[in-house]
Structure 1
Amino acid sequence: MNVRQRKLEMIEAMNRARALEPSSFVPNKLLDTLIQKMNLKNDAELCRVLEVQPPIISKIRHRKLAVGATILLRMHEKSDMSIKELKELSNASMH
């Protein structure tokens, strides 16, 4: 087995382990609240307002990417919601 194959196997194992971990990150509530609060129609408009590429919002919505500091600050600036509110929304319970 070469180095590349080992690396791919390790990445796959990490992804499987990550999928089994309970996560408190709930991006849909955060993104949907932002869209509603800013009177936007959809994720595409949210991308334009936040000045990010659509794949970024898509990856956040599908839990493939966490909300980083830069986008969190942008959300705060554009929505006038506090950082604390935004973080609470992204960590809210799914129930």
Structure 2
Amino acid sequence: MKNADDTAEYIKNANKMLDAVIAKLGLKNDAALSRRLEVAPPVISKIRHGRLRVGASILISLHETSNFSIAELKSFF
């Protein structure tokens, strides 16, 4: 199990990445992002709360939707 500091850092970085994508797309909130990515709203919530890691499929969806490069998205971590 990862220690609490690593988890907190991951959550902070994941939130920064999601916020950057939301801002770039001009969306209002996580619900709008989930609709754009065509994922269930709990997926975004679980990422924000550290219960789900950003996997390859979400990373690719974020890239294709926002036009952030994969490298830019990974740089948040």
Fold conserved (TM > 0.5)?
yes
Is there any run of 5+ residues in structure 2 with no aligned partner, and where? Answer: none
Aligned letter for 2:51? K
- Cα RMSD (Å): 1.4
Match of 2:42 in 1: 55
TM-score by length of 2: 0.87
Write the mapping of 1:11-26 to structure 2, written as runs, cut at 5 A.
Answer: 17-20=1-4, 22-23=6-7, 24-25=9-10, 26=13
**The residue matched to 2:2 in structure 1 has which SS?**
helix
**The residue matched to 2:27 in structure 1 has which SS?**
coil
Match of 1:80 in 2: 67
Aligned letter for 2:16? K
Is there any run of 5+ residues in structure 1 with no aligned partner, and where? Answer: 1-16
How many residues end up aligned between the 2 structures? Answer: 74
Runs of 4+ in 1 over 6 A off after TM superposition: none
**Over alpha carbons, which structure has the higher Rg?**
1
